[in-house]
């Protein structure tokens, strides 16, 4: 699996530098709206890597390499998890720097809840999108992804009003940060078998 990581790092160094730099800068800004943007688009990082594999015909070479399809899928997930962890660490560092200048040393629970909520959304998006990309490829999968994002955005805007919004905020205040992280991680892990099965079906065509 080390060779897979080296391959993807080489790809990112060549075509993903601008995207990664933008995400890193947004994460360092002490405003969770910028972090939410960076975390939400984490899935685009895996899309870049998978698209590079398809363009280089890596899938056709896979049967001749000493790696399994499960390893390819797991490596993609691990890169996504590591990237989310990196962005989260940068976001906390940027906020801690701001707090130190303001003379505050304690961790703000509201900030921690919102940060974990953004991480949960990022993991959830990863768990929903990666099986689609592995099953249909980046061309068809990207179209399905855009339709899904549009539908989710429309529903979110429609529901984020009045008593519905108040009820959701009430639920969040009763949760602990690790509840959100656990929910996102569980969904992401549960999607791995679906990604492996979809990847296997696509390669058999």
Whether pLDDT at 125 is above 70: yes
User: Which pair of structure tokens corresponds to residue 175?
Assistant: 């949760």
| Percentage of the chain exceeding pLDDT 90 | 10
| Percentage of the chain exceeding pLDDT 70 | 73
The residue among 72, 65, 61 whose CA lies nearest residue 5 is 72
Q: Which residues of 150-173 are buried (b: 16+ CB within 10 A; e: fewer)?
A: eeeeeeeeeeeeeeeeeeeeeeee
Distant-in-sequence, close-in-space partners of 114: CB < 8 Å, separation ≥ 6: 32
Q: Indicate the DSSP class of residue 176.
A: -
3-state secondary structure of 58: helix
Q: How many other CB atoms sit within 10 Å of the CB of residue 87? A: 23
Q: What is the pLDDT of residues 94-119, one digit of tens each?
A: 777 776 776 655 556 667 777 787 78
Whether pLDDT at 129 is above 60: yes
Q: Around 11, how many Cα atoms within 13 Å sit in the side-chain half-sphere? A: 21
pTM of the model: 0.81
Query: Is-contact 39 122, C-beta < 8 A?
Result: yes
User: Which pair of structure tokens corresponds to residue 73?
Assistant: 């899928």
Q: What is the pLDDT of residues 144-189, one digit of tens each?
A: 777 766 665 565 555 555 555 556 556 666 777 778 788 889 999 9
């Amino acid at each position: 699996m080390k060779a897979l990581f080296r391959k993807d790092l080489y790809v990112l160094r060549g075509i993903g530098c601008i995207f990664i730099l933008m995400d890193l800068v947004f994460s360092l800004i002490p405003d969770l709206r910028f972090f939410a943007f960076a975390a939400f688009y984490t899935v685009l990082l895996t899309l870049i890597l998978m698209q590079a594999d398809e363009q280089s015909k890596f899938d056709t070479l896979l049967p001749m390499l000493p790696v399994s399809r499960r390893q390819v899928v797991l490596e993609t997930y691990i890169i996504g998890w590591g990237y989310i962890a990196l962005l989260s660490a940068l976001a906390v560092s940027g906020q801690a720097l701001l707090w130190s200048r303001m003379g505050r040393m304690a961790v703000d629970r509201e900030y921690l809840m919102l940060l974990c909520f953004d991480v949960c959304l990022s993991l959830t998006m990863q768990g929903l999108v990666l099986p689609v990309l592995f099953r249909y490829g980046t061309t068809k999968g990207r179209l399905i992804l855009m339709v899904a994002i549009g539908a989710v955005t429309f529903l979110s805007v429609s529901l984020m009003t009045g008593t519905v919004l108040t009820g959701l905020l009430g639920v969040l205040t009763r949760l602990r940060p690790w509840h959100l992280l656990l929910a996102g991680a569980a969904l992401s892990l549960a999607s791995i078998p679906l990604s492996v099965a979809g990847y296997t079906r696509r390669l058999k065509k």
